[in-house]
Structure formats: C-alpha cells, structure tokens
Amino acid sequence: MASSEGNKLWGGRFVGNTDPIMEKFNASIAYDQRMWEADIKGSKAYVKALQKAGLVTQNEMEQILTGLDKVFDEWSKGEFKIKPGDEDIHTANERRLKEFIGDPAGKLHTGRSRNDQNTHYAHMILLMYNYQTHTSQINFLCLFREIEILCPGYTHMQRAQPIRWSHWILSHAVALSRDVERLEDIRKHVNVMPLGRLFLCIYNFKRILYGLLRLNLFNQKYNKNTEFLFWASMCLTHLSKMAEDLILYSTKEFSFITLTDNSTGSSLMPQKKNADSLELIRSKAGRVFGRCAGFLMTLKGLPSTYNKDLQEDKEAMFDTYDTVHAVLQVATGVISTLMVNQPAMERALSPDMLATDLAYHLVRKGMPFREAHSCAGKAVYIAESKNIHLSQITVEDLQTVSPLFDKDVSSVWDYNRSVEQYSAPGGTARSSVTAQIEHFRTWLQAQKQKP
C-alpha cells in the first residue's frame, strides 16, 4: 500500500491517512508562516553550502535559487497560497518550490531536519526582534528629559519627602536602560549559527558545515527564546510600574499630569477622561508574563533534545515581541505628549514631608539619628494634636522635645534646601540630577551609534 503521507517531509515511514483532527492539531503553519522570509533566505544560503559540498550540481543550485526567488516574490506580493497539506512554513515553501522547478527541490533538504530549520530561522527572527526592540527602547528613552520641578516622593503610597520631578523620571529611565543592556546580552547569546545538528546528532555530511556553520547544543535555541521571554517580562514590569504611577498622577486627586491624545472618554459619564493607553500597558505586562510562564511549564517536564512540545515556543515569542513592540510605541506617545502641572505638584508639598529634615537638623548638632528620629516623631505628634502644620510649631514647643532646637530650626522649612542636601550620586540635588542626566545622555549617544 502506497503511503498517503509521501508529500510530507517525514511521510515515507507511514501508510494511510492522518486523522484530520490530528492534522490540524499538529500543524504550526497558522503562526510560523511569518518566518517565510527567514526560511527562504536560510534555504538560499544552505543550497550554496550543498553545492560547495558537491551534493548538488551548479545547475541544480541555480534552479533552486531561481525557484526560491519566485516563492519569495509570491510571499512579498501576498499571493502565496497555503494548502491543506502545508503543516509548517518549511513544508509550504518546499512544496511550492517543487511546483516551480520539479525534482531538484527535493535535494534542498539534504542533511537537515525541520527542527534544525526551526532553530535557525527562529534565531534569525529573534535577532531581528532584538534589534527592533532595542531601537524602540532607545527612541523611548530619548524622551526622558530634565524637568526642574519639585514634587512629592512617595513610599507605601504616602507622601514621603520632596524630590525633583526629573528624579522620578530618572528612576524609570535607569531601570529601562538596564533592560536595554540586558537585551544586548541576549543578542550576543543569540548571534550564533544554530545549524549543525539534526534531530539528535551532528550531520553526517560534514562537508556542508565546513567554513559555514558553528555548532551548538540543540536545546540552546529554546534557552535563547526563553531568555527573550524573561527579558520581555522584566521590561514590561518596569513599563507597567511607570504606567501605574502616571495613571495615579493623572487623576483629579493628584492632577500632576494631563494626558493628551492617549486617553478616551466614558460611554456613561461625560466628564471622565480615562488613561486607556496606560491601563493597556499595565495589562499587556500580564499577557507577557503569561507567555513566559506558559512556556516554562512546557519546558520543565521535557526530556533532553527535541520534543514536539517545543513547537509552542514560536507562538509565545511572536506574540511577546508584538506586545512589547506595541507597548514601547504607545509608551513613547504617552511620554512625548503628556503635560506636567507644576503648580499642582508644588501644592502637594507639605511641611510634614520635612520631618526627616527635622531629625537631620538635630543630627548636625550631635544627636544620634535614632534619638533624633524619636524627637522628630514627637514634634509631629505635637503638630497633629494642635491641628497645625509641622512648620508652625513654636520653638518653645520644640524645646520641650529637645533643648537642641533653636531659632535656626526655621531653615528646615524649605523644600528646595531639602532636595539640595542630597548631593551624593543618585540624589535629588541639582548637581546630582544634572550629573545623572549628563551620564544618561552620553550613554544614549553611545547606544545610538551601536550597529
């Protein structure tokens, strides 16, 4: 009985028909067709290696190259027709190549497996994704600019100490710049030739490899894809946290910023302006986390080398890239168009935020910080019990807490002085923030010049 699976790359061993449900369940063409360009370019390079190895003739190589150009042209024009038997992009392209040139198309698969092709082309696409994502991140980070405005800094969602708005911006910029550097590390790891092994063992046709291929362990492909999923999860963690801050700052309760073209209205309440762009950034982070966790669940129970489970990696990688790329574009739009409400930020500053400065005032007079902290806390209690601002406490009341308080305590109640005292690297002083910004600009310039 002749095999009905003979047109498949693996069909010679089988007789009869594959169950239609299994046929559909097994196929990956629905999502791996986006690798069409990488598949064709990789095949063109591969057939040249076959010719150099003496496994195809010059004429056969030229026929295959011409046929692959025709397949490329169909994909480029949106004219390529996927047929029911095309279970993946490699099968589809080779099937169409055979329709163009006949039997020589069958020689293209000499010495390689679809899993080998999957590894190589996924690597090619991951390199492209890394480059495009790196570019998007740099474009986004270039929008972070110095804004000479004071505003409350928060811990536990409570007003803590005065900071510069530019300091808040830098806190997110630094996290995202580290994401850029992590992405560069992944690119170094991915930028290797993953060809050079079949399902389990290295090619028998060693001549194909000579001068062209660099060997890796098979499962490294999935390590790299997983690394990209890890990276994307970390990057969107940072972008989501930034989005959450901006959502809060855009509310009427804060009114620190105004969002422009990235908001929508309510279908019920006419007065509302919803920060949909930022909320979607926040939600897309969960989508990426799910992709990463899902693929890890696939990997955790697998034995060594290739298993069909690993077909799941491409869909996760494609969706993660699409999501991160979209989030970076939207985030760029939000940051570039938001308006800062300086008066609202400065109105939100309150003397109680200077309680730490009150403690430092005593420290400068020789009191141990732990004792000074207690004294400042007692001063806060006095102000609360009298229903007045901390800055309105009289010197006489402060002296009941510590005799070290004197008239010079009035110098504490100055927000600009407060931020200026933190001049260490990473601090809120003008000199420190300026140094950070200059360092960041130099770093950005170096990033832009990288290939």
Kindly report the backbone phi and psi dihedral angles of residue 3, in degrees, each rounded to the nearest multiple of 5, phi listed first: -75, 135
**Known catalytic residue: 156?**
yes
Among 266, 410, 411, 431, the active-site one is 266
Partners of 154 in beta bridges: 159
The C-alpha atoms of residue 420 and residue 434 are separated, in whole angstroms, by 12
Contact 119, 194 (CB under 8 A): yes
Kindly report the backbone phi and psi dihedral angles of residue 37, in degrees, each rounded to the nearest multiple of 5, phi listed first: -70, -45
**Known catalytic residue: 266?**
yes
Q: At what angle do helices 220-249 and 114-141 cross, to 10 degrees?
A: 30
Catalytic residues: 156, 266
